[in-house]
């Protein structure tokens, strides 16, 4: 393979690797409506965690804007919390000129444990002489058995057409927790925006 081919392969690995922590498990698209970019979009993270809400809404709205969409984080102009009246919120968003709302919420966490069994392998016990390298018996070495734990956050994202208040697109995914909020949100955003772009509801 020439250098150009290797460079392309490396670039693809970087792109694909960037979404490795987020796996799409289910997607749905309104079958009775023709998909088309919905226009001005408000991003709403349904979370009581202020840092998480702002990080998610900023990251996701920025990713949408980079694709050529008109998107805004909800926290910058309206309060959208668990006590907010849905009808009042929709009226406020319509008045502000928004035609679509992208919401996201956590459905809980999932923990999995994988036990990696030890295995035997052989290595020379002595390298003092050439002959001993071949003639001496090889000693068996056993690696330790260990358990890997993986925590994943299950997230549901929904896209609503505010003019009809109908759900037009939904996706459910699992994102591996890395302990770094920004890293996890960036990974999730790349995966979901890519799926949303394929759906036809955004540019």
What are 6-60's pLDDT values in tens digits? 333 333 333 333 446 899 999 999 999 999 999 999 999 999 899 999 999 999 9
pLDDT at residue 132, rounded to an integer: 53
Judged against a pLDDT cut of 80, whether residue 95 lies above it is answered with: yes
Separation CA 183–CA 64 (nearest Å): 18
Lowest mean per-residue pLDDT among 53-57, 107-111, 112-116: 112-116
Q: Which domains does the chain have, with CATH numbers?
A: 23-109+152-199 (3.40.50.800)
Reported as a pLDDT band with limits 50, 70 and 90, residue 84 is: confident
Q: For residue 175, what are its two tokens?
A: 């994102």
Who's near 109: CB < 8 A, 6+ residues apart? 151, 152, 153, 154, 177
Each residue's pLDDT tens digit, 120-162: 555 555 555 555 544 444 444 556 676 777 889 999 999 999 9
Q: For residue 91, what are its two tokens?
A: 């009226």
Most confident of 73-82, 115-124, 183-192: 183-192
Q: Which H, E and C letters describe the chain, residue by residue?
A: CCHHHHHHHHHHHHHHHHCCCEEEEEEEECCCCCCCCCCCEEEEECCCCHHHHHHHHHHHHHHHHHCCCCEEEHHHCCCCCCCCCHHHHHHHHHHCCCCEEEEEEEEEEEEEEEEECCCEEEECCCCCCHHHHHHCCCEEEECCCEEEEEEEEEEEEEEEECCCCEEEEEEEEEEECCCCHHHHHHHHHHHHHHHHHHHCCCC
The percentage of the chain sitting over the pLDDT mark of 90, rounded to a whole number, equals 61
Judged against a pLDDT cut of 80, whether residue 195 lies above it is answered with: yes
- Tell me which residue has tokens 């698209």: 29
Candidates 38, 92, 47; CA nearest to 70 is: 38
Separation CA 105–CA 87 (nearest Å): 19
- Tell me which residue has tokens 């330790």: 144
Candidates 133, 107, 99; CA nearest to 47 is: 107
Q: What is the mean pLDDT of residues 92-100?
A: 95
Candidates 78, 20, 92; CA nearest to 45 is: 78
Reported as a pLDDT band with limits 50, 70 and 90, residue 200 is: very high
pLDDT at residue 71, rounded to an integer: 98
Reported as a pLDDT band with limits 50, 70 and 90, residue 73 is: very high
């Amino acid at each position: 393979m020439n250098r150009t081919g290797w460079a392309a392969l490396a670039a693809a690995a970087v792109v694909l690797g960037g979404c490795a922590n987020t796996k799409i498990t289910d997607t749905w698209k309104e079958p009775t409506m023709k998909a088309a970019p919905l226009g001005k979009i408000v991003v709403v993270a349904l979370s009581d965690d202020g840092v998480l809400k702002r990080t998610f809404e900023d990251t996701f709205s920025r990713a949408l804007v980079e694709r050529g969409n008109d998107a805004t984080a909800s926290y910058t102009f309206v309060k959208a919390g668990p006590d907010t009246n849905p009808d009042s919120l929709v009226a406020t968003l319509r008045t502000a000129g928004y035609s679509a709302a992208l919401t996201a919420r956590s459905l809980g966490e999932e923990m999995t444990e994988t036990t990696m069994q030890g295995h035997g392998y052989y290595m020379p016990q002595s390298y003092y002489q050439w002959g001993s390298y071949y003639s001496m018996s090889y000693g068996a070495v056993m690696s330790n058995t260990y358990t890997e734990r993986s925590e994943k956050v299950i997230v549901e994202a929904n896209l609503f057409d505010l003019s009809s208040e109908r759900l037009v697109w939904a996706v459910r995914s699992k994102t591996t927790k890395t302990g770094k909020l920004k890293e996890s949100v960036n990974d999730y955003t790349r995966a979901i925006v890519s799926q949303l772009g394929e759906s036809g509801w955004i540019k």
